Amino acid sequence: MDVERPWTDFIIRGCPARRTFPKNPPSLLNLQFLRIVILGSGVNVVVRFPSLPEGTPAKWAQLKYHQLDLVFRFDLPKIIHFDLQGCIDYKYDPVNIHFSEKKFSMMSASAEEVLSLTFLECYAFFVPDADLQLSDFIRDLAGSDLETY
């Protein structure tokens, strides 16, 4: 019987998301889709957890963080296939994210695939209390002007 691998197995080793939840990464089901940011040489997919996941670092609770965003970054030269279709009402329609070997899929709650990406490398970053800092975080990550779609 095949055991499903955690999604963190499909992102770059040493990436911050792997270190934040080393043993039990949070589920990627019923997330709030926030945006896709095309910036410099990368595509960033940003989602929000409905509440802080189990196993959240204790320091985040001490700092009174109350929400957690997750940014998946794909460098354009390392994207093999990119397909964006349909639309999502980001305020109301939860999404589910699925990883398999070199494939990232985001589906709406009605199981319609909205985004499909085949990639060579994927980075992932957690951003606590992102309303305060997400735009700055992504801008710093890419080192250029921010364009959000």
Distance, C-alpha 93 to centroid of its chain: 16
pLDDT category at 1 given cuts 50, 70, 90 is: very low
Give the integer Cα–Cα distance in Å for 47 and 95. 9
* 32 phi/psi in degrees, rounded to 5: -95, 125
Q: How far apart are CA 27 and CA 8, in angstroms?
A: 11
Q: Which domain holds residue 34?
A: 7-77+122-142
pLDDT at 38 over 50: yes
pTM over 0.85: no
Question: Does 21 fall in a domain?
Answer: yes
- With pLDDT > 70 as the criterion, what percentage of the chain qualifies? 80
Query: How far is 6 from 24, CA to CA, in rounded Å?
Result: 8
How would residue 135 be classed by pLDDT, with cut points 50, 70 and 90? low
Whether 107 maps to a domain, the answer reads: no
Mean pLDDT (whole number) for 28-45: 88
Q: Is residue 70 part of a domain?
A: yes
